[in-house]
Amino acid sequence: MNRLLLRLKTSYKVEFMKQEIWAKLIAYNLTETIVSHTVVETRKDTKFSCKVNFTAAAHICRVFFRLHSQKSPADMLTLLSRKLIPVRNERSFPRLQTAHFRRPKYFLDRAA
């Protein structure tokens, strides 16, 4: 969201800002639709099930539509089916408490 807001500062008119927001939303929805229609082949030798990498899919879709390539959309779907990442549902890690974000324990630490 912050990257979106930083890029919207380049537009100096409200209409252009709205146009940028709609363009980003349409691109996201289009990429999401294409990813949902991509067939992921499940192999028995893998430990985890797989899904399409959304970052790679967004890049492939952006390049595909920007270049107006004469390749068929099926070629894009085969490219997307190669960019797979494993789905790990039970994987979560606590946030790191670095020194910058820790609260000081004593008043003298804050004053110094």
Tens-digit pLDDT profile for residues 81-101: 888 888 878 777 776 666 566
Give the pLDDT score at 29.
Answer: 93
- Domain limits for position 12: 2-39+48-88
Residue 69: inside a domain, yes or no? yes
Of the candidates 43, 37, 86, the one whose C-alpha atom is nearest the C-alpha of residue 57 is 37
Residue 97: inside a domain, yes or no? no
Give the pLDDT score at 68.
Answer: 66
Residue 35: inside a domain, yes or no? yes
Angle between helical axes of 54-66 and 14-36 (0-180°, round to 10): 110
Number of structural domains the chain divides into: 1
Phi/psi for 41 (5° steps) reads -80, 125
Residue 98: inside a domain, yes or no? no
